[in-house]
Amino acid sequence: MTDCLFCGVAARDVPADVVFEDDLVLAFRDINPQAPTHILVIPRRHVGSAAELTPADDPLWARLLHVAQQLAIADGVAADGYRVVTNIGRDGGQTVGHLHLHLLGGRHMTWPPG
């Protein structure tokens, strides 16, 4: 067991609506969606945030982004555009301390973010 929520999801100890998984990453629908498509893409291995990535993690980072891109296509939001964001630390608005990309789509996004 782990006390990290998303390590629990990756281990399938915590139930989630998983839409994709491979050896490196897992993707599941956000429990509190902020857009019609709101999917989280996480590494299976625990990484606290994008701030902890090292050059050795370049393939992992690329994989996370590529999976987000493919899921945007699969969910039908790619043609109209979408947003991929990762929150880092307190001021970044991070609430779960396991690296995750938010894939948000299906509605118009505003800028600047709140």
| Binding footprint of ligand AMP on the chain (CB under 6 A) | 5, 14, 16, 28, 30-32, 40, 87, 93-96
102 touches 86 (CB < 8 A): yes
**Alpha carbons 54 and 93: distance in angstroms, whole number:** 22
**Alpha carbons 85 and 103: distance in angstroms, whole number:** 7
Binding region for Zn ion (CB under 5 A) out of 52-60, 68-76, 90-98, 105-113: 90-98
Q: Does a cis peptide bond (omega within 30 degrees of 0) precede residue 112? A: yes
Say whether residue 44 binds Zn ion (CB under 5 A). Answer: no
In angstroms, what is the minimal distance from the CB of 70 to Zn ion? 23
DSSP-assigned letter for residue 106 = S
Binding region for Zn ion (CB under 5 A) out of 15-23, 33-41, 42-50, 58-66: 42-50
Cβ proximity to ligand AMP: between 40 and 47 the closer is: 40
100 counts as catalytic: yes
Residue nearest to Zn ion (CB): 4
Element (H, E) at 59: helix 58-74
Residue 78, both tokens: 């790619």
Say whether residue 67 binds Zn ion (CB under 5 A). Answer: no
Catalytic positions are 100
